[in-house]
Structure 1
Amino acid sequence: MPLHQRIRQSLIDRFMTFEPIGLITFAAVAGGVLAFLALTGEVIEGDTHAFDEEILLSLRQTADLALPIAPSWVTHAMGDITALGGVTVLSLMTVLSVVYLFLARQRAIAIFMALSIIGGWLVSSALKLGVARPRPDIVPHLVEVHDLSFPSGHAMLSAVTYLTLAALLSRAEQYRATRIFLMAAGIFLTLIIGLSRLYLGVHYPTDVLGGWCAGAVWAAGCWLVARRFIAREPKGAVPVG
């Protein structure tokens, strides 16, 4: 059989032999795409404005909308947390993780992870430009922002980066407890970063929901591809060449 036919048959065989976890993840990705499209449609039509406004106003003092309902130390903490979803921190995390995987002799996963995260960032930018939703003006912003609003870049990029890092780094770990910790850490960071954007008044709740949804779908899709097509190199493997 010619080489191209063997490669095609190998790909078909892989898709036809999904494990239950693979099927569940595929279904979740498909459902997430539909949910994001539905939410985007509602946002464009303006049907979510009342919900968004109510949530943002509930986080501020009625007498002065410039003041959050929580003590000042919470506002300071939220500013620190939101920085974890900024491009600088996410870029550093990505570079360090890629270097770690190269040192761990997991070159294929390292390259795929870098490409996955870069691709997710490009998709986030494209979605923002496509929807072109202005930033909320319901309450004063507690940090400076300049770009568009939907989906939340911090929410989506943190989901893309931290969830993808967790999912692909876990492929280099042999212990289940370590893999679970990595995924839990990725989910936790994604959630608190998204919530910080609401607290600071720079995003509508639906912006954050859209960012979480799109980012999680991207990360899950990347994990699914890696699971099917990228073999984990054994610990201590000696590279050839």
Structure 2
Amino acid sequence: MTGRRAPAVLPPSLRVRLGLIAALAALVVVVLGVLYAGHDKPGRVDRWIIPPTADSVRPPWRHVALALDFLGEPAGSTMLVVAIVTGCLLLRRPRAAALFVAGVAMAVGTATLLKHLVGRTIHGAGNLSYPSGHTAFFTALALIVALLATGRLGLGRTAGTSLVLAAALVAGAAMGWAQVALGAHYPTDVLGGWCTALAVIPATAWLVDRMADQLADRTADAGRREHR
């Protein structure tokens, strides 16, 4: 099977809608970054959300928050990605494996770069907080899984978009709740991390498809020349 015949990781039916959503998400990331650049205190929205959220998280929910937080830490995220990529390779889905690696790297890398550019801090000058890398990571994973499920199930534009957005919302809300509950991030940091994943993953998926198709074309051309 050539790369051209392999299923695209970004379903064609979703490209336009997800492109628009990605552009809007990128705009939100930029606007929030400008608003909170250099800040070291919660904003008005943050102050409205933080007190009741933090005060309400006690065992056993605190244990849930800590478990979610671990999945976004280097050790937890590495184990999770390695397990998923191994599964993709065993199922002979190299594009999916490539997207998981590239997508997670782009989402986390973008969040890390933005942290240094924006310079927002929490609990001291050394704790850069905007956007939340944990939320970007977990949302990115959910987005990729939803994209692959959409292609696998052959969902249409509306159903596919709904699945992708629902997966992103659930994953982002779960990790975002954990980060705010543990006092690691402000709510607006979480929103920035969520939007970072929404902005980065569709573009990364498109690039993976394009590069895989180009490689498949070159391989096919080389094969035809060999048989002449």
Give TM-score scaled by structure 2 length. 0.71
Pick aligned residue for 1:122 from 76, 90, 109: 109
Q: Contact 2:95/2:209 (CA < 8 Å) preserved in 1?
A: no
Percentage of pairs with the same residue: 22
The residue that corresponds to 2:172 in the other structure is 190
SS of the residue aligned with 1:216? Answer: helix
Could you say if the C-alpha distance between residues 162 and 97 of structure 1 is closer, same or farther in structure 2, counting changes exceeding 3 Å?
Answer: same
Q: How far, CA to CA, are the matches of 2:81 and 2:12 in structure 1?
A: 29
The residue that corresponds to 1:30 in the other structure is 23
Pick aligned residue for 1:158 from 133, 138, 156: 138
For residues 76-225 of structure 1, what are the structure 2 equivalents within 5 Å?
76-136=63-123, 147-167=127-147, 169-170=148-149, 173-174=152-153, 176=155, 183=164, 184=166, 187-225=169-207
Quote the offset at 1:127 in angstroms: 1.1
Where relative contact order (Cα < 8 A, 6+ residues apart) is larger, the structure is 2
Could you say if the C-alpha distance between residues 112 and 75 of structure 1 is closer, same or farther in structure 2, counting changes exceeding 3 Å?
Answer: closer
Q: Please state which structure has a larger fraction of its residues in helix.
A: 2
Quote the offset at 1:135 in angstroms: 1.1
**Count of equivalent residues:** 198
The residue that corresponds to 2:6 in the other structure is none
Could you say if the C-alpha distance between residues 182 and 91 of structure 1 is closer, same or farther in structure 2, counting changes exceeding 3 Å?
Answer: farther
Q: Contact 2:143/2:201 (CA < 8 Å) preserved in 1?
A: yes
SS of the residue aligned with 2:92? Answer: coil
Q: Which runs of 4+ in 1 moved over 4 A?
A: 45-48, 179-187, 226-231
The residue that corresponds to 1:15 in the other structure is none
Could you say if the C-alpha distance between residues 186 and 56 of structure 1 is closer, same or farther in structure 2, counting changes exceeding 3 Å?
Answer: closer
Q: Contact 2:132/2:193 (CA < 8 Å) preserved in 1?
A: yes
Alignment RMSD, CA only?
Answer: 3.3
Q: Contact 2:176/2:190 (CA < 8 Å) preserved in 1?
A: yes
In the alignment, residue 126 of structure 1 is paired with which amino acid?
L
Q: Contact 1:109/1:230 (CA < 8 Å) preserved in 2?
A: no
Could you say if the C-alpha distance between residues 129 and 86 of structure 1 is closer, same or farther in structure 2, counting changes exceeding 3 Å?
Answer: same
In the alignment, residue 100 of structure 1 is paired with which amino acid?
G
Could you say if the C-alpha distance between residues 135 and 98 of structure 1 is closer, same or farther in structure 2, counting changes exceeding 3 Å?
Answer: same
Q: How far, CA to CA, are the matches of 2:150 and 2:82 in structure 1?
A: 17
**Which entry has the higher C-alpha Rg, 1 or 2?**
1
Q: How far, CA to CA, are the matches of 1:73 and 1:111 in structure 2?
A: 37
Q: Contact 2:150/2:163 (CA < 8 Å) preserved in 1?
A: no
Give TM-score scaled by structure 1 length. 0.68
Could you tell me which runs of 5 or more consecutive residues in structure 1 were left unpaired when the two chains were aligned: 1-17, 61-67, 138-145, 232-239
Quote the offset at 1:108 in angstroms: 3.1
Q: Contact 2:98/2:208 (CA < 8 Å) preserved in 1?
A: no
- Of 48-57 and 189-198, more deviation after overlay is shown by 48-57
In the alignment, residue 152 of structure 1 is paired with which amino acid?
S
Could you tell me which runs of 5 or more consecutive residues in structure 2 were left unpaired when the two chains were aligned: 1-10, 214-222, 224-228
Could you say if the C-alpha distance between residues 185 and 21 of structure 1 is closer, same or farther in structure 2, counting changes exceeding 3 Å?
Answer: closer
In the alignment, residue 53 of structure 2 is paired with which amino acid?
L
Q: How far, CA to CA, are the matches of 1:147 and 1:196 in structure 2?
A: 17
